[in-house]
Structure 1
């Protein structure tokens, strides 16, 4: 494990421990005198089908962290599965129940201002989780998203090596309704522009693998099989479909990157099919969100756990916790997602990938 990776992982653990200690011993406060709804944290996550992270990691980690910080608190959870209207109804349902704190990861962050402002007028605090929702949010918890894009772009350059300066690049970005996607895109361009020959095709894959496959096919048909040398994909779900589309077209040795450190992406990296992913440790993010939620339930000052500031589109200053992402390549699997506790080697190295694991020294 190199020094930078070790510092990052240790730093993540320190943040998690500090946040947990900050809220421990305060399992009373506002919750004691309030109604049952004052002990509930609403949790609204955006999707199931296009990304496995929300059900596999975010939900259980947030529920566990809140339970550890506030034994009398409960979580009222719903997942919109990519449907904006469904999420609006879920949000309204929480308000109707009198829930005073809502963790919201929006399907369409640009459309939430009226919901969030209505909640604020009723005294309900909304914490924007992972994506910065529009409106009068009380706090924001995420990763440094432009930095994530920069790391993606630099990892693609590293995968191309000496060929980067003459490489034409296809970019499959995230949904235009997601402000994070715009920051990933901006960061990737910052890293790639002027370092590669040209971005020859750039489209939104809408965070949908099927759309990403369609856009990749369009790029192949319009540019030809020799028309580009690498593909930037904003996340792992789309990267999987990009890789399969390239395979079906008979195209080899085209570096493709992603994001989210999904287990299938880690396996593809070990097998040499995907160049890299971005690991954003979910537990520190979930712990930060849980701590801020419990602080707000208890009427406490959140600036000790949300010490950064983010600007909303309207110019408001939002107390924030922004964490650092980590690049994962074949050489770094052991030092990142395994050392960080996201997966065990046994989780990754099923029968199909046993040889790839052995070749990478993962046992």
Structure 2
């Protein structure tokens, strides 16, 4: 890490707002525009991402063009093209399909518009300048660790308890067009594979390859529809002990299909179900004892990183990074800043989510 300013409260960015706004002139007005392209409003986390990025940029005197494409790739391409056409000085892009933006980003490059890839790595193009995200391999490892802890295979300190099982589990992965989904899965399987090899864990359905368990467009209903028949057949006369769900947008529908199969009762306790993003419905399920864990990724901090990158780029400076080796997008290794995620359970949600001001207790019920 070349500098250590990232991770300070986003409020620190507000201090410079008046000065930056005062320095803006009519001649550079178009360069004040920052295009922010986000994938969808169907997930709370993406709504919050867009709001946080836009608010922090506006506080610094930037004009923001914030658009959501509702998981439609042609719409996102058209939105980015419109941002280029209006003379944006920089783009922040949370991609729907990490492989579908090559042509439109080439146009951004031709117009000398730098692009920050936001949370999801944009692949197969040289035309992204930097990548702002969380440590996605760690996210997967944390999901796997929390699953093992929920089963009692690991204790609260992460030490192996030497229980032999076998515990029956099912695996769900994210969208195949999102590079993060692969990284989450690989991070989780690096932790789980030794226990699968030893027979402590058994995937009852036998479905373990990414292509089979992936969930296009992160659609939770699709994941639930895949799990339902497995519960009907493989688990007709036995109980699933855990489900590795990669995100809350998937875990919540999974909980509903489990409920419809009699789980959540004295005879069939809830399996250990993981998640990610600390969405309010999932946190409520966690508090109710239905979902075991989620992974908290403070989108305020991620927005701060992305905004800091944009500010540096617009000033002709080199943004701060802390990883220049991990993220190869198929054309180049993209300089990145990785934030650290955190496991949230019923035991610590109040301290982590409410104590940090991310949610109020009233929002969580």
User: In 1, distance between residues paired with 2:5 and 2:354?
Assistant: 14
Query: Contact conserved, 1:128 with 1:139, CA < 8 A, in 2?
Result: yes
Give yes or no for the alignment of 1:323 onto 2:339. yes
How far residue 23 of structure 1 moved from its aligned partner, in angstroms, is: 6.5
Structure 2 residue runs without a partner (length 5+): 154-162
Residue in 2 aligned with 1:52? 44
Matched ranges for 1:96-245 at <5 A: 96-134=85-123, 135=125, 136-162=127-153, 165-195=165-195, 196-199=200-203, 200-202=206-208, 203-206=213-216, 207-225=218-236, 226=238, 228-245=240-257
- State the aligned residue count: 333
Q: Could you list the structure 1 runs, at least 4 aligned residues long, displaced by more than 6 angstroms after superposition.
A: 21-26
How far apart, in 1, do the equivalents of 2:83 and 2:17 lie? 26
2:296 to 279, 303, 317: 279
CA–CA distance in structure 2, aligned partners of residues 29 and 306 of structure 1: 28
Change over 3 Å in CA distance of 1:87–1:298 after alignment to 2 = same
Post-superposition offset of 1:320: 1.6
Q: What is the distance in 1 between the residues matched to 2:72 and 2:115?
A: 19
Distance 1:223 1:127, change over 3 A: same
CA contact (8 A) 2:247 2:277 kept: yes
- Root-mean-square deviation (CA, aligned residues, Å) is 2.5
C-alpha contact 1:29 1:298 (8 A) present in aligned 2: no
Aligned to 2:287: 270
| Matches of 2:336 and 2:353, distance apart in 1 | 25
Instruction: Report the CA distance shift for 1:141/1:29 in structure 2 as closer, same or farther (over 3 A).
Output: farther
CA drift at 1:153: 0.6
Which residue in 1 is equivalent to 2:8?
Answer: 15
Cα 1:34/1:182, change in 2 over 3 Å: farther
For 1:240 and 1:142, locate their aligned partners in 2 and report how far apart those are by CA, in whole Å: 24
Cα distance change of structure 1 residues 114 and 13 upon mapping to structure 2, 3 Å threshold: closer
Gaps of 5+ in 1: 1-10, 350-363
The 1:101–1:182 alpha-carbon spacing in structure 2 relative to 1, beyond 3 Å, is same
Q: How far apart, CA to CA, are the structure 2 residues paired with 1:301 and 1:12?
A: 13
Q: Aligned equivalents of 2:298 and 2:289: distance in 1?
A: 23
Q: Which residue of 2 aligns with 1:360?
A: none
Tell whether the 8 Å contact from 1:213 to 1:241 is kept in structure 2 after alignment.
yes
Deviation of the 1:28 alpha carbon: 6.7
1:250 to 235, 243, 262: 262
Partner of 2:36: 43
- Which structure's residues are more often helix, by fraction? 1
Quote the offset at 1:30 in angstroms: 9.2
What TM-score comes out, normalization by structure 2 length? 0.84
